[in-house]
Structure 1
Amino acid sequence: MDDSQLLSAFSELAREQQPRVTAPPRHRAIFDACHVGVVLRAVLFVEAVMAVGAMFGTDSVLQWGQRLAMLSAAALPGALGWLVVTCSSKWLLARLHPVAQQGFGIALGVVCGLYGCGILALVAGPGQVSWVASGFAGALLSSVMVAALVLRAKGRMPAETTARLAELQARIRPHFLFNSLNSAIALVREDPARAETLLEDLSELFRHALVSKGDSATLAEEVQLARHYLAIEEVRFGERLRVEWSIDPRAGSARVPALFLQPLVENAVKHGVEPSPTGADVKVTTQRRGSTVVIRVTNTVPAGQGRRGHGVAQENVRDRLRLLHDVQAQFQTALIDGLYQVRMEVPA
């Protein structure tokens, strides 16, 4: 049975084991404005629109600057208010139908446009503003932002699907599954307790791979999953795999993409331990630094060999981190003096 057949078999088994209960349809938030990068781009977008609008009817750069300052003073508070309200109420919006969520965003844009018009009326005078035009302008700007955020949210789905399929295939590759079962069989007589522990670790890997966890998980959950994987590989490689953990309990609550850490430690085993007759050292580190959590996966590389592979797993993790945390996420790799390290930063 090849990989695709195994994947289909386990998928069917998971569906058969799920309780067949008819539940009312559940909605989810179709856009999320709670990101620093989203706020920056939204503010720049509104400011760019105001800059172009200020060009109409101006004869000099000075006049354009004065009009831009007036329009910005009216538009930016409304834009920031729109972002704050949509962010703070995203859990309530998630209960609504997607069409209702979009309608709420556009209607809120109308309110913010009228609010900006009110500010402009205080500065320029009631006779110098158009309430109707301001309301339509707010609706148009909010429509563009809603559409952009919806597309951004949809862009996360292919990455998640690819990651989940890749992880499912990694878990049920024949050689990994057979090696794990053979290791358990070899331990049954000489060390039954260790064989039981190995099978429990393998069971946890399958459970995490087959159960949907949404688009994110806590770092503590991901660390625990990586522990299960490395515990299985420690039985297989013995003293050739030397694992060190440096885990900061304060970093455990950070949100990270589901199934993001295990592919990195798997790469460390594949490129560090397997090609080396003496094995390799693998170290997983988490550390909280103020409002940031730093995550490192480090492994030694055999002498004379660089980091091999196509980097598909790393690219997938990088893309999912950016989709989840935008500009607040950092992903870096380095190979220095026989040590390869993947370093990530996420909000605490």
Structure 2
Amino acid sequence: MQSIRQNDLPDALPDFRNLGVISRILLSVNALALLFALARSREIGEFAARVTEIAGSLEPILLVVVILLYAGSTLLERLAYVQGLLAVLAIVLAVTAALFPFQTLLGGSGEWRELAWSLGHAALGTAAIAWYFHLRNRAFSPAISEARLQALQARIRPHFLFNTLNAVLSLIRKDPKRAEGALEDLAELFRTVMVDNRQLIALGDELSLCRQYLNLEQLRLGERLRVDWRLDPAIEEALVPPMLLQPLVENAVYHGIEPGAAPGVIEVRIERRDDRLWLHLANPYHEDYQHRQGNHMALANIRERLQLHFDVEASLDTRIADGRYEIGIAIPYRTTQ
């Protein structure tokens, strides 16, 4: 059995363009400020006064730092982890020092000792937030998450493999060329799903994987399987988690096409809207079809990986409408460029 490596993903700075990351920074820093005010207060009135005092000096610094981190996120991504941490620390300290003279308007003394005190608190706060994101990054890549990812990569169903091989065998005498192409598609499909895919890939590669899979299913389902592709021509370079669409297409075949005797259509629509990538997949819905556990497992797994890659900026919704089962996914539009 293949061993599962735990926590072998390299440390990396959080994505400062991510709404979830920004929200956690704001909440964490303000929570630390509240704890600091509480620790130095003896009564409610004193606590309220200290909170007001801290907020007056902290919030402008925090706002400017967040804006600078957002604007410089592309440059920070290119740095090694330690270099990135030092760059973030330098930004925090520089902003703290630059805004320090304005604290005199709030009753500060403006002395260098007070500046040193502010810089020390800024450095400690930055270290605490960096440690929080370090622990969170570790928590999102334990052995159980890797096991679920490997399970998803291995979810090319055994019955699909056997049925495809039988279909290829039936073609060898009648149409050797087509059988050869099918075997090449099958080999490429399994080569793709067996590699260690934990980084974002180009959507074009994921679409190629889906087409190879559907070509193989076409061998045994024939005219019963029809696919309606509606693709925005500008989305091929968009970055998506590996095996985002293939398990959904597989489930569409398994739950939407196989149970029906009549031909069925799987609709795949992908488009870019501003800075979002929208993916829509629909297949026939059979109300009396009971085997849905695999579908729920795939959806739960994809939700988890979307959260890992995009945090709160990704969404996955399902619904049943007009006799069709529909899945909608929205993620940030990003490319390698």
**Partner of residue 246 from structure 1, selected from 207, 225, 230:** 230
Give aligned-pair identity as a percent.
31
Q: After TM superposition, which residue ranges in structure 1, 4 or more long, deviate above 6 angstroms?
A: none
Q: Secondary structure at the match of 1:244?
A: strand
Counterpart for residue 141 of structure 2: 157
CA distance in 1, matches of 2:65, 2:153: 46
Distance 2:91 2:158 in 1: 59
1:288 aligned onto 2:272: yes
Write the mapping of 1:188-227 to structure 2, written as runs, cut at 5 A.
Answer: 188-227=172-211
The one-character-per-residue Cα deviations of 1:49-85 (angstroms, maximum 9, x if unpaired) are: 3455566576595785465223322343245545655
Residue 112 (str. 1) matches residue 89 (str. 2): no
Q: 1:91 aligns with which of 67, 78, 81?
A: 78
TM-score, normalising length: structure 2: 0.82
Amino acid at match of 1:69: G
- CA deviations 1:196-229 (Å, max 9, x no partner) are 2211211111111122343211211111111111
Unaligned runs of 5+ in 1: 12-25, 95-99
> 1:283, 1:297 within 8 Å by CA — same for their partners in 2?
yes
TM superposition shift of 1:129: 5.7
Residue 273 in structure 1 maps to residue 253 in structure 2: no
Residue in structure 1 matched with residue 26 of structure 2 by the alignment: 43
* Counterpart contact for 2:206–2:244, Cα < 8 Å: yes
Please give the alpha-carbon distance, in whole angstroms, between the structure 2 residues aligned to 1:232 and 1:287: 26
Cα distance in structure 2, aligned partners of 1:92 and 1:106:
10
Give the Cα–Cα distance (whole angstroms) in 2 for the partners of residues 344 and 214 of structure 1: 19
TM-score (norm. length: structure 1): 0.79
Looking at structure 1, the residues matched to 36 and 208 of structure 2 have their Cα atoms a distance apart, in angstroms, of: 54
Tell me, in whole angstroms, the C-alpha distance in 1 between the residues paired with 2:267 and 2:305.
22
Q: Compute the displacement of 1:176 (Å).
A: 2.1
Q: What residue is the counterpart of 1:123 in the other structure?
A: 103
Of 21, 26, 31, the match for 2:13: 31
AA partner of residue 345 (structure 1) = A
Name 1:319's counterpart in structure 2.
304
106 and 139 in structure 1: CA distance in 2 versus 1, 3 angstrom threshold: farther
Distance in 1, Cα, partners of 2:161 & 2:289: 28
**Deviation at 1:315?**
0.5
Q: Secondary structure at the match of 1:170?
A: coil
CA RMSD of aligned residues (A): 3.1
Q: What is the aligned residue count?
A: 318
Which residue number in structure 2 is paired with residue 339 of structure 1? Answer: 324
Residues 127 and 28 (structure 1), Cα distance of their counterparts in 2 relative to 1, 3 Å cut: same
Letter in 1 for 2:316: F
d(CA) in 1 for partners of 2:145, 2:215: 26
Cα separation, partners in 2 of 1:141 and 1:270, compared to 1, 3 Å: same
Query: Which ranges of structure 2 fall in alignment gaps of 5 or more residues?
Result: none
